[in-house]
Structure 1
Amino acid sequence: MADVSGVWLGTYWQYGSPTRFEMTLVQGKNTLSGNVLDDSSLGEANVTGEISGRTVTFRKCYLSGSRHCIDYFGTVSSDEKLMTGQWQEGIFNQGKWEAHRQDDNLTLSLEKIKSSPLQTVS
């Protein structure tokens, strides 16, 4: 079973227009919970779902406005750094989505770069 706990940066497309989002997931065995912040007027949402093997399904329910919910279906890549799939709201409103795992070790990577000797080109 894939491990999807952590921070994900993604995009979903609606009517051909992209919307960015940041999603934080916590996984307990095959159960998922977390939150999403969309780059749209809809804002913040809660997430609940499950994972089976590399298949991920979750429901995103917005906390403000109409508080509507959207269902997401997808697949986790073998390296667990990418999720791709489809979202659906009702019968007619649907589109594609993808999310990339955010590097949790950015500070460690920066420290490693800082401590490496500079290479000169002759």
Structure 2
Amino acid sequence: MFALLGPNAYLGYPTPGVITMGVAAGAMSTSIAVCQDMTEGIINRFRTMNITRSSFMTGHVVDRALTTLVGLVLVVGVAVVLVLQHDLARNSGSSEVTQPPGLRRSRVTSVS
């Protein structure tokens, strides 16, 4: 996937950036959720229950990690589809990459 060289090498650039942003957003959402729970008093309620102290934080981290992982799998899947689509268009001799039918641009003709 990252072996694209030449004039269309841009396809390999946005994927690592989007992955990094997704991981950063997942980490930020975890810390914000924990902070909100601490200020709203849910932690005090959990302290009265017979649960371990780490179970609350573990639940938040596992939840956000799985959510982030699903998003990253989708991002990598779209990147692989774009790279494969580009490779197929390049190997078939076509000068442009074809788009799915729903994404094709329609030509607008002006009437004078």
- In the superposition, the TM-score normalised over structure 2's length comes to 0.24
The structure with the largest alpha-carbon Rg is 2
Name the one with the larger strand percent: 1
> Which has the bigger relative contact order, CA under 8 A and spacing at least 6?
2
Q: TM-score, normalised by structure 1?
A: 0.23
